[in-house]
Amino acid sequence: MRYTRLPHTDIEVSKLCLGTMTWGKQNTKEEGHQQMDFAMEKGINFFDTAELYPIPAEAERYAHTEIIIGEWFKNTGNRDKIVLASKIAGKAPFTKFIRTTGFKRESIIQAVEGSLNRLQTDYIDLYQLHWPERSTNYFGQRGYQPSTSDHWKDNIHQVLGTLADLIKEGKIRHVGLSNESPWGTMRYLEESKVHTDLPRMITIQNPYSLLNRLFEVGLAEISMRENIGLLAYSPLGFGVLSGKYLGDQKPENARLTLFENYKRYSGKTAIKATQEYAELAKAHEISLTQMALSFVNSRPFLTSNIIGATTMDQLRENIGSIDLELGEEVIRAIEQIHDRIPNPAP
């Protein structure tokens, strides 16, 4: 395994982070525990979760993923060996069963204390805002469209103040963003620069893959110049970049087979790009999955690459990507495909 540090800290994390959002829905508790055992054995010390998980979100399974992780911590005694990240759910129609109050002070406190209870721990190493409260482009929205129904008032000082209090209490150690835009990222960073008693956002968890490199457009420069590290999610585009859906295949129990509305990475242009990446991988006798993950692993703005799997075979292959270094010829060919078919999945 290879390791990095969470920016502005001395916390060492594995370059691969174990994603958990299928546990409690597509995966059982036992399978989640098996994945954590195996990941830790392979050197992964960084787990990412959220109160929203498992996905798709539903009231009957609210926060089951955190519960599964908490039981593993209790059974194994491994809490101090893991860097743990979680998130507060934002305000949205599909989170009304959690709360409707957004990032108000009481909401953040309630969310943190609920996660601590379920995770059976006294602290969370990295606490993230899952997506912005304001109306902006995230979750597959390519461009920003102003909304007349957006009544958000700038509460970033209050949000950071609440997080500062939770840090002082020892309930969280550091804070990060997720599904955030360049404007939002800089707004948070500037607030903590002006008010030095407020915590600094150290990471941003956004989508990044061969099918979606939009992070490079505005956020990569911010990441490098401000030292706010990318935690890349969906590096395989909901599994599309494994190639298992090519040729209109619908593998049994696969995410896009079970949840057909998850079309973010499955449009015609994305499938065309995936086919070209698959042919490139085949020509160089490497796994498409590992090529896609290795590309993400190689990016200079990356802090950690969040891998997820529903089977142990998938997890083994994903973790194996850390040992693959793409040659210059493969990188050039990837860039040529990207030039022809840039960011086919928003």
Which two structure tokens, joined as six digits, stand for 220?
């990569």
Q: DSSP labels for 221-239?
A: HHHHHHT-EEEEE-TTTTT
Q: Is 161 exposed, middle or buried (0-12, 13-18, 19+ CB in 10 A)?
A: middle
- Confirm if 320 and 33 have CB atoms less than 8 A apart: no
Catalytic entry in 3, 53, 233, 265: 53
Q: What is the rounded CA–CA span in Å between residue 54 and residue 344?
A: 26
Phi, psi of 3 (to 5 degrees): -130, 150
Give how far Cα 228 sits from Cα of 66, 161, 184, 289, Å: 26, 19, 13, 27
Q: Is 53 a catalytic residue?
A: yes
Q: Which helix (H) or strand (E) holds 125?
A: strand 124-129
pLDDT tens-place string over residues 149-174: 888 999 999 999 999 999 999 999 99
* Closest residue by Cα to residue 208 from 106, 295, 316, 283: 295
What pLDDT was estimated at residue 253?
Answer: 80
What pLDDT was estimated at residue 149?
Answer: 86
pTM to 2 decimals?
0.97
Express the helix, strand and coil content of the chain in percent, nearest 5 each.
Answer: 45, 15, 40
- Confirm if 80 and 117 have CB atoms less than 8 A apart: no
What pLDDT was estimated at residue 258?
Answer: 87
What pLDDT was estimated at residue 248?
Answer: 85
CB atoms within 10 A of CB 313: 9
pLDDT tens-place string over residues 303-325: 999 999 999 999 999 999 999 99
What pLDDT was estimated at residue 148?
Answer: 86
The domain 3-239+298-326 having CATH identifier 3.90.1150.10: the answer here is: no
Q: Which helix (H) or strand (E) holds 47?
A: strand 46-48
What pLDDT was estimated at residue 243?
Answer: 95
Please state the domain extents for the chain.
3-239+298-326
Residue 203 bridge partners (DSSP): 176, 229
Place of tokens 């990837």: 334
The stretches in the chain having pLDDT less than 70 are none
